[in-house]
């Protein structure tokens, strides 16, 4: 790892000011991706500005029919939140599948969402529940926030503050893990929301997380596993690597979507 300076931000304004004063600074959440990249000398920021202690980024609250999660909330906090377990159990269950206990105790929802790794779990939940991402500069619907693999609508000096998840009528998440890394090879999030069914896929798309409109239309007419089990995904839109071909991932989307619908009931 190359030499770097570490600073702990006490407020959003303080974090932005520290970043502006740095030669090549980066905001630091749980560090589960950034620090590993730095250890491999694939990244060498001059400064790390830790945003996890900023009060505005902490806490999990219920606001009407919405669960609001502070960006600095760890995966463990999301998994163990009594409110989330009661009102949005699919999200607590999803968080519990992320990494191992060490990762879950350090990694944050905001950091994961901002990084937008193609194998990350949270983006599927955001897109599947039509969540709203509030930042230091404004708000984004999940649909407009994720713009491509490892790409989001965030500016360099923009910080995720909180994420609001509307509580659905029902929802489920099916994750197919890489047996070695335990990252998502393909995962599908389904939900019946106030605006109708939503189906979001992570771990497989060429452009990152995406929705499956044909499955959503089928579920609007008939919420059942049978409604989606015959719908195929174009392999040309899928990732292909040593862990799974595009055709394999396309097949997994259909299988996992049917399982998720059945699980949601």
Q: pLDDT tens digits for the chain (265 residues)?
A: 788 999 999 999 999 999 999 999 999 998 888 888 888 988 889 999 999 999 999 999 999 999 999 999 999 999 999 999 999 999 999 999 999 899 999 999 999 999 999 999 999 999 999 999 999 999 999 999 999 999 999 999 999 999 999 999 999 999 999 888 788 999 999 999 999 999 999 999 999 999 999 999 999 999 999 999 999 999 999 999 999 999 999 999 999 999 999 999 9
How far, in Å, CA of 211 to CA of 200, rounded? Answer: 4
- The model's pTM: 0.94
CATH architecture of 5-50: 2-Layer Sandwich (3.30)
Query: What digits encode the pLDDT tens for the residues 65-120?
Result: 999 999 999 999 999 999 999 999 999 999 999 998 999 999 999 999 999 999 99
Mention every residue, 6+ apart, whose C-beta is less than 8 A from residue 191. 90, 128, 129, 168, 169, 170, 171, 172, 197, 198, 264
Return the CATH number of 170-264, one of 3.30.700.30, 3.30.390.50, 3.40.1370.10, 3.40.50.720. Answer: 3.30.390.50
CA dist 199 → 25, 160, 212, 229, 259 (Å): 36, 24, 6, 13, 12
Q: Where are the domains of the chain?
A: 5-50, 55-166, 170-264
Is 55-166 assigned to CATH 3.30.465.10? yes
Q: What backbone phi and psi angles, to 5 degrees, belong to 27?
A: -75, 145
- 30: tokens are 């749980």
Query: What digits encode the pLDDT tens for the residues 233-251?
Result: 999 999 999 999 999 999 9
């Amino acid at each position: 790892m190359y030499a770097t300076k570490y600073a702990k931000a006490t407020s959003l304004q303080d974090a932005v000011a520290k970043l502006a004063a740095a030669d090549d600074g980066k905001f630091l959440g749980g560090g589960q991706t950034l620090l590993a990249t730095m250890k491999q000398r694939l990244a060498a920021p001059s400064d790390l500005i830790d945003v996890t202690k900023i009060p505005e980024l902490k806490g999990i609250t219920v606001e009407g029919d919405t669960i609001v999660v502070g960006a600095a909330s760890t995966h463990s906090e999301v998994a163990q939140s009594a409110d989330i377990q009661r009102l949005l159990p699919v999200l607590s269950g999803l968080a519990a599948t992320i990494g191992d206990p060490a990762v879950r105790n350090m990694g944050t929802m905001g950091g994961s969402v901002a990084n937008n790794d193609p194998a990350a779990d949270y983006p599927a939940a955001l897109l599947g529940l039509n969540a709203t991402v509030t930042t230091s500069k404004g708000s984004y619907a999940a649909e407009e926030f994720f713009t491509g693999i490892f790409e989001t609508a965030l500016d360099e000096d923009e910080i995720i503050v909180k994420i609001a998840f509307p509580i659905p009528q029902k929802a489920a998440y099916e994750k197919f893990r890489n047996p070695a890394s335990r990252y998502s090879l393909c995962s599908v999030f389904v939900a019946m929301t106030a605006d109708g069914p939503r189906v979001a896929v992570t771990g497989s798309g060429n452009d990152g997380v995406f929705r499956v409109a044909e499955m959503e239309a089928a579920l609007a007419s008939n919420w059942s596993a049978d409604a989606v089990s015959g719908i195929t995904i174009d392999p040309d839109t899928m990732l292909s690597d040593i862990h799974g071909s595009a055709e394999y991932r396309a097949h997994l989307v259909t299988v996992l979507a049917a399982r998720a619908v059945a699980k949601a009931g």
